[in-house]
Amino acid sequence: MLPLVFAVGACQELEQEVLDGVTSEDIANSTNPNLINVLKASAYSRIVGSWGGHNSIWSIQEVSSDEMAIPQKGADWEDGGQWIRMHRHTWNPQEESFNNSWNYCYSAIGEINNLLIQYPDVAALNAELKVLRALVYLWLIDSFGNVPIIEETSIGGNPTNNTRAEVFAFIEKSIKDNMDQLVKEDTKTTVNYYTAQAMLAKLYLNAGIYTGTPKWAEAEAAADAVINSGKYSLSSNFFANFSERNGGSTENILTLPYDQNNAGGFNLPQMTLHYLSQRTYNLQEQPWNGYASLEEFYNKFDDKDVRKNSFLEGPQFASDGTRLNDISAEATDPDGQPLTFTPQINMLAPNAFRQAGVRVGKFEFASGAASSLNNDYPLIRLGDIILIKAEAAFRQGKTAAALTAINQIRKRANVSEYTTLTLDNIFDERGFEMFAEASRRTDLIRFGKWNLPWWEKQASQPFRALFPIPQNQINANPALKQNPGY
Amino acid sequence: MSNYLPKLKSLMLAFALVLSVMATVNAQNRTISGTILDAALGDPVPGATVLVKGTTRGTATDLDGKFTLQLQAGDQTLVVSFVGYLTQEIEIGNQTTITVNLEEDIQSLQEAVVIGYGSQDKKEITSAVVGVKPEDFNRGNITNPAQLLQGKVAGLSITRPGGNPNNGFTVRLRGLSTFGANSSPLIVLDGVIGASIENVDPNDIQSIDVLKDGSAAAIYGARGSSGVILITTTKQGKKEGTTNVNINTFGTMDQATNLIPVLSPEEFVARGGTDFGSKTDWRDELIDNAFSYTTNASVSGSFGNSNYMAAVNYRDNNGIVNGVGNERLNTRLNLSQGALNNRLRLNINLSFTNVDSESINDAAFRYATIYNPTAPITESTETAINRFGGYFQRDLFDFYNPVALAKQQKFVGETKTALTSYRAEFDILSNLTLTAQYSQDRRNTLSGGFWSLQDFQVGIGATGSAERNTFDRKQRIFESTLRYETDLSDKLNMTLLGGVGVQYTTNQGFNARVRQYLFDLGWNNLGAGAIRVGNNTNVSSFANEDQLNSVFGRANFNWDNIVFVSASVRSETYSGFGENNQTGIFPAFSVGSDFTQVFDMGLFSQFKPRVSYGVTGNLPPSPTLALGVYGNGNRIDLDGDPLTQNDIFVGINQFSNPNKDLKWETKKEFNVGIDFGIWDNKVTGSVDYYTRNISDLLFNVPVATGAPNPFDPGRFNTASSTWVNLADLRAAGFEFAVGVTQIGKGALKWTPNLNFTIYDKTTIESLSNGDLGFEELRFATPGSPGQNNNPIIYNRVGQTLGDIYGPKLNGLTEDGQYILSTTDPNQFEKLGNGLPKGEFGFANNLMWGQWNLSFFLRGAWGHDLYNSYRGFYENADPASNTWNSVITDKTPTNPLVVSTPTFNSSVVEDASFIRLDNMELGYNVKTKSANLSSLRFYAAAQNLFTITNYTGIDPEVRTNDSENGDAFTSALSPGIERRNTYFQTRSFTLGVTVNFK
């Protein structure tokens, strides 16, 4: 008898309970009024995620430019040569950081599309999510170019590449169709109407690169919409935009709201500081002694320029004022054991001195900081928009308007205002202003300097202006085609 | 065997009773009476059968071993027999009283082999099954049942690199059968499927049987792919009607051995190392000889239909580093009682085990090898005293005082396991038996971690930290079987088995970690840690449960002891499979024939070729993988204002995309073998050749992130991976085992046993499923500093699993720079493979009067290891002024290598080895005492010597990468010896065993 009962039981379908997580059905059936906001915030948290960590999209944008490198110190930071290749423009499609960047973008897109399917009737949310999705595509068009456009209406099958021009049109349409439904208040950590305008400004500024057809007037108009809104103003203290408590910055338009406890992932102190700097800032973990700026880039800064404090340079001290001493300093290092961040880096690889290179000091390292910072990361900032205005105006021949804009920035930086202007002035100013804000690579490409040689980087071929589609993605999706040249 | 013997005994007893009734009916005037005794013990043998030869007249002995039998004219010979003894024939002559001493029949005791759901006569076995008895077990301080079998069974690889008493053994049968967590064979303990091995102490084991091929394991269906090990514990006394008391106690000393040579303080300074002015042998400071103690005590008996065994086992094992060890107390009670003339049999097995363990951060072994030899252990500077508890520490990358590290971080665990099983067997008819068994296996672990305020590695940054964890597992199984045996004709015997089962498993756990203490209170007061969110803190818990329903059947046929056939099938319905694939079917078939029953085979007393084929499966490592569960995302403060708390929530993130097609992994195995016996089974052995195809392996596959999910139409991939069944692996192997019983003359007897395996290494035939999958999978980067990005294990389609790839070292320049074949990872060459071409074990038992000496040699050949100490620390590069350097026989010294350490062919070494695994000398004291049945003294040594060309810590095969925390990829990167490996140890044991009666 008993066996029979069980025999019947054995043929039944079994329901798998989930005890410590939720399924998509649970989400669909929930009536919790907070859920929609939390899900929206979850989509944002994908973007907060790994942006500011090592091996991220920030890393590939910065290390491939002439403002940053990760010198190899003996065994340390050799790491398979990825970062040497990144700086020398000899990377290959297998680099882990390309794949990380791709996943970072597309997991956010998947999350957004799932939300759009789940809440098809909430118009304001739909508009916001579509603009947020466009923001992610802005990084994709800039880094990888010919990427698949995946919308909530896309159906089965492997996604295929779209051309960079198609992606451009998609971003433009997504923003324009939805921006009027966005709020105009300064929301800071979510996209609003001015974020959308700023995104348009950035998109049009690079239209020549992305599509072959420049759109300077459109870039200027979009920048003007932000500048003239009166919602944002330059902070008198440049570094207030990057401090640990920068949530009140009047200048930041869209930030990634990092929080060491709730929203980790901004690991700059680990990435750039020397091992011994742990004692300067009483850091919770020992830093990795990696990212440093290039001497030539650092030396371009005027000594009077307050923005030169974006670097940590010179002798380093413990928090109690004692001089830090690196007993493992190379015997050949002319600076000896006392820890000093020198602008000169003796070589990129293999034996850069441990203390060589000025470090990224633009973001405040609060005493007792965890490996992940509390500082919010400015993705879009008025200072950048003003420089876009200057450049777009200048390229249309409106020098006076350009001078007005650029001098606002120079004045705040305590450097002399320009009376005449060249394209190189604008390029340099963008370097001073936007250091460590993942802008340099795009600027180098737009100003035609990307393929030129610098320091330990030789002239590179034009196809290097696009990163390769990550090999892992091509393996996972054979319908994807590699970018030309790779 | 445990179920086999009592059953047979009771049948024989019943048979004897019937005979004696018949004998009474035919009573005549002449009688003979007598006593039947055990020849060895001198104890009476109750229930023995006494028959008049050539008739059906006879009787059975009573509880005192006595009998009386009426004789008829012409009766000449009595036949005295009892299960487990050699049958004797006695000439009656004119005797009226006789005494017969029965000799134990060792051979017949060994003939029963435990298979799934019962036992079978060894001669009937048609698949690759190996039984190992206590006399063949490994000797010395054996703490884990797996260790008993190390090297004893061809194809069964059991390894534990290094000598950490807290580490378990990695067990693999016939190589890798899954990428996942269930790569060790399934343990079936007294019929309880999947029991934790902690439940049994090595001392309480009566036999271990290994189901090697797919056909034998297929009766365990979706849990059988990695093979099955059946453990049977002692259930009863050695002789009917007596009580046995056994006490065994021993002490063991462990010492570190085979330390990798490093530079002396003088050599270190001469090479440019920073001189701190002292001389410290860091390994000497860290390690010490360790002493361990074990006591086993058991009492057992068999009285009529009652059998019992009760045991207590206490083990206190200490490692060679202070702060590493465990204390284990195991208690077992096995009871069985027959009722209704033994037609109903009730069994209860209870076991409880408590293990208290403590361990250190294993990185201490690395730092003890490479810490600056001129640094003092302590110093009296203000900084050292205030910040580091007096220990010498310096702010350098990856540089921690090993003595401080071992003392200022602590990790403890308390594990309690309880296995209770209840079993009833009822003979509905004499040949139809219904069995029901319920078991509950619980394993509760409470652990703690502590980082002192003055711990330089973690504690200072966190201002002290501590954690508490629990992990609890509960498995309940109900199984019921029906067994029917009949003779279909006078030559054809058939046994049918049918059964159903249901298994529920629950796992749950909890973790809390805090930081920022004022005093070092550790996990005893988590409330004293001020910070409970963020870095180095945690509050979390988890739980999952699943259900597995099974229906199974088996039919065995025996045609006149010439041809044997077995066929079985099991159907498994598992809640954790995707909804489109919930039930798997696992069939098996095997056939064998003993040629000696048909042909004159000369020397052969047995020659049984057999062929088998079976399909087994493997379950997913977690029951919710098919569902694409959302877990915890970031904490989200909706308004960003930390002062308002009612709008903070934890977001949700999907970690893996759903897959409704997810199912079991499948292994199909074909086995041909021959069991043979020569010279009346003086020499016995077996030869096996197998090929196996493993398909539908579960793997977390990267998918087109953000794209529509092909397994869950209408939704998009938000995770970058999905659990998918993919890949095909093919492997084969040849196994040979031979044993000889007691060769020799006079008092000296030698019993050798040899086995070896030659592997046809696992080949990867595919790593994909449709569009999803890989051409290759690369794993295992050497690590920090500087070797974080280039994986060194390439798993390529068409190649063997776990190949080591890297640049070839083509030599050195005059000034000591590497000349590497390439720096492009895509141009790397195959440098080796971490899995062995073969393994062998050679056991020897020598007896000479009261003395016995056993020694066991074990080895593996044809495997390579990445020696990571050489890979990081043998070069005279700039970093070597911070870290000490290793100098092995293979380290280039002229010139010294000055390049930055980079993985290359020179640090991949052939690790073939032969090891004297264990050796024991014992002396049995002759005893005439009425109460003392035996007294034995012994001395044992483990890991006495190793012959190898490998220059690292331990040439033992590494099937897994110890630093890869992902169970799914660690098995794909064999052959890596990591720097944190616990040192090898050598052990010496002295012990005494006493048996009372």
Interchain contact A10–B (C-beta under 8 A): yes
What pLDDT was estimated at residue B489? 92
CA-to-CA distance for B854 and B909, rounded, in angstroms? 32
CA-to-CA distance for A222 and A242, rounded, in angstroms? 25
pLDDT in tens, B444-481: 999 999 999 999 999 998 999 999 999 999 999 999 99
CA-to-CA distance for A428 and A418, rounded, in angstroms? 13
Return the minimum-mean-pLDDT range out of A47-51, A146-150, B172-176.
A47-51
Q: Which of residues 99-118 of A touch B (CB under 8 A)?
A: 102-103, 105-111, 113-114, 117
Q: pLDDT-derived band of residue B637, with 50, 70 and 90 as boundaries?
A: confident
Residue B458 tokens, joined: 């973690």
What pLDDT was estimated at residue B141? 84
Distance of CA A187 to the CA centre of its chain: 20
pLDDT at A347 over 50: yes
CA-to-CA distance for B191 and B481, rounded, in angstroms? 12
pLDDT at B3 over 70: no
What pLDDT was estimated at residue B911? 96
Residues of B in contact with A326 (CB under 8 A): 395-396
- Asked if A65 contacts A441 with a C-beta cutoff of 8 angstroms, the reply is yes
Q: pLDDT-derived band of residue B19, with 50, 70 and 90 as boundaries?
A: very low
Measured in angstroms, the CA of A51 and the nearest CA of chain B are apart by: 14
pLDDT in tens, B191-229: 999 998 888 999 999 999 999 999 999 999 999 999 999
Q: Give percent helix, percent strand, percent coil of chain B, each to the nearest 5.
A: 10, 50, 35
Q: pLDDT-derived band of residue B12, with 50, 70 and 90 as boundaries?
A: very low
DSSP state at residue B287: B
Q: pLDDT-derived band of residue A34, with 50, 70 and 90 as boundaries?
A: confident
Q: Which of residues 417-446 of A touch B (CB under 8 A)?
A: none
pLDDT at B109 over 70: no
Architecture of domain B4-105: Sandwich (2.60)
Q: Which of B694, B840, B701 is closest to B771 using CA atoms?
A: B701
What pLDDT was estimated at residue B21? 44
CA-to-CA distance for B851 and B848, rounded, in angstroms? 5
User: How big is chain B by its Cα radius of gyration, in Å?
Assistant: 32
Helices A193-205, A123-143: inter-axial angle, 10-degree rounding: 20
Return the minimum-mean-pLDDT range out of B45-59, B206-220, B330-344.
B45-59
pLDDT at B926 over 90: no
Q: Give residue for tokens 């919409």.
A: A225
The mean pLDDT of A395-412, rounded to a whole number, is 97
Measured in angstroms, the CA of A433 and the nearest CA of chain B are apart by: 27
Q: pLDDT-derived band of residue B501, with 50, 70 and 90 as boundaries?
A: very high
pLDDT at A324 over 50: yes
- Give the DSSP letter string of A194-227: HHHHHHHHHHHHTHHHHHSS--HHHHHHHHHHHH
Q: pLDDT-derived band of residue A296, with 50, 70 and 90 as boundaries?
A: very high
User: How big is chain A by its Cα radius of gyration, in Å?
Assistant: 24
Task: Give the number of residues written for chain B.
Answer: 997
pLDDT in tens, A52-83: 899 999 999 999 999 999 999 887 888 888 99
CA-to-CA distance for B277 and B269, rounded, in angstroms? 10
Mutate to test the interface with A, among B379, B541, B634 (most CBs of A within 10 A): B634
Residues of A in contact with B544 (CB under 8 A): 18-20
Measured in angstroms, the CA of B18 and the nearest CA of chain A are apart by: 33
What pLDDT was estimated at residue B237? 78
pLDDT in tens, A237-294: 999 999 999 988 999 999 998 988 778 889 999 999 999 999 999 998 889 999 999 9
Give the contacts of B836 (CB within 8 A, at least 6 positions apart). Answer: B157, B759, B860, B861, B862, B863, B912, B957
Q: Give residue for tokens 């021949």.
A: A397
More confident residue, A249 or B933: A249
What pLDDT was estimated at residue B29? 63
Q: Which of A239, A328, A312 is closest to A277 using CA atoms?
A: A312
* Residue A90 dihedral angles phi and psi, to the nearest 5°: -120, 25
- Asked if A356 contacts A346 with a C-beta cutoff of 8 angstroms, the reply is yes
pLDDT in tens, A420-447: 999 999 999 999 999 999 999 999 999 9
Cross-chain Cβ contact A42/B461 below 8 Å:
no
- What burial letters (b/e) apply to B229-254, b meaning 16+ CB within 10 Å? bbbbbbbbbbbbbbebbbebebebbb
What pLDDT was estimated at residue B86? 76
Cross-chain Cβ contact A37/B545 below 8 Å:
no
What pLDDT was estimated at residue B673? 96
Q: pLDDT-derived band of residue B729, with 50, 70 and 90 as boundaries?
A: very high
Q: Which of residues 375-414 of A touch B (CB under 8 A)?
A: none
pLDDT at B518 over 60: yes
What pLDDT was estimated at residue A48? 83
- Give the DSSP letter string of B683-715: EEEEEEEEEEEEEEEEEEEE--TTSB-TTSTT-
Cross-chain Cβ contact A150/B716 below 8 Å:
yes
Report for B74-78, B512-516, B746-750: range of highest mean pLDDT: B512-516
pLDDT at B7 over 80: no
What pLDDT was estimated at residue B552? 96
More confident residue, A199 or B777: A199
More confident residue, B726 or B806: B806
What pLDDT was estimated at residue B41? 67
Residues of A in contact with B583 (CB under 8 A): 11
Residue B234 tokens, joined: 């002692």
pLDDT at B60 over 90: no
Q: Which of B528, B437, B432, B436 is closest to B484 using CA atoms?
A: B432
What pLDDT was estimated at residue B106? 55
- Asked if A66 contacts A86 with a C-beta cutoff of 8 angstroms, the reply is no
B215 dihedral zone (left: phi>0; alpha: psi -120 to 50; beta): alpha
Alpha helices in B255-307 (DSSP H): 265-270, 282-286
Alpha helices in B32-134 (DSSP H): 106-109
Neighbouring C-beta atoms of residue A147, cutoff 10 Å = 27
- Asked if A429 contacts A387 with a C-beta cutoff of 8 angstroms, the reply is yes
What pLDDT was estimated at residue B415? 95
pLDDT at A331 over 90: no
Mutate to test the interface with A, among B571, B767, B789 (most CBs of A within 10 A): B789
- Judged by DSSP in three states, A43 sits in helix
The mean pLDDT of B161-183, rounded to a whole number, is 85
pLDDT at A3 over 60: no
- Asked if A196 contacts A155 with a C-beta cutoff of 8 angstroms, the reply is no
What pLDDT was estimated at residue B28? 47
Residues of A in contact with B823 (CB under 8 A): 81
Cross-chain Cβ contact B640/A276 below 8 Å:
no
Q: Which of A346, A362, A266 is closest to A72 using CA atoms?
A: A346
pLDDT at B520 over 50: yes
Residues of B in contact with A255 (CB under 8 A): none
What pLDDT was estimated at residue B95? 83
Mean pLDDT of chain B: 89
Cross-chain Cβ contact B701/A476 below 8 Å:
yes
Cross-chain Cβ contact B624/A27 below 8 Å:
no
Measured in angstroms, the CA of B486 and the nearest CA of chain A are apart by: 21
- Asked if A308 contacts A82 with a C-beta cutoff of 8 angstroms, the reply is no
More confident residue, A119 or B940: B940
Give the contacts of B121 (CB within 8 A, at least 6 positions apart). Answer: B111, B112, B113
Residue B437 pairs with which residues in a beta bridge?
B423, B479
Q: What is the rounded (10 degree) CA torsion for B209, B212, B213, B214?
A: 80
CA-to-CA distance for B478 and B316, rounded, in angstroms? 35
Per cent of chain B over pLDDT 90 is 61
What pLDDT was estimated at residue B216? 92
Burial class (CB in 10 A: 0-12, 13-18, 19+), A435: buried
DSSP state at residue B599: S
What pLDDT was estimated at residue A111? 86
- Asked if B626 contacts B578 with a C-beta cutoff of 8 angstroms, the reply is yes
Q: Which of A45, A261, A351 comes nearest B534 by C-beta?
A: A261
Q: State the count of interchain CB pairs (< 8 A) between A and B.
A: 298
The mean pLDDT of B89-96, rounded to a whole number, is 84
pLDDT at B688 over 50: yes
Cross-chain Cβ contact B546/A351 below 8 Å:
no
**Which amino acid appears at position B566 of this protein?**
S
Q: pLDDT-derived band of residue B2, with 50, 70 and 90 as boundaries?
A: very low
What pLDDT was estimated at residue B113? 83
Interchain contact A262–B (C-beta under 8 A): yes
Q: Which of residues 33-52 of A touch B (CB under 8 A)?
A: 34, 37-39, 41-42, 45-46, 48
Q: Which of residues 225-254 of A touch B (CB under 8 A)?
A: 247
Alpha helices in A144-263 (DSSP H): 164-178, 193-205, 207-211, 216-227
Q: Which pTM value belongs to this model?
A: 0.82
Residues of B in contact with A285 (CB under 8 A): 461, 535
What pLDDT was estimated at residue B8? 46
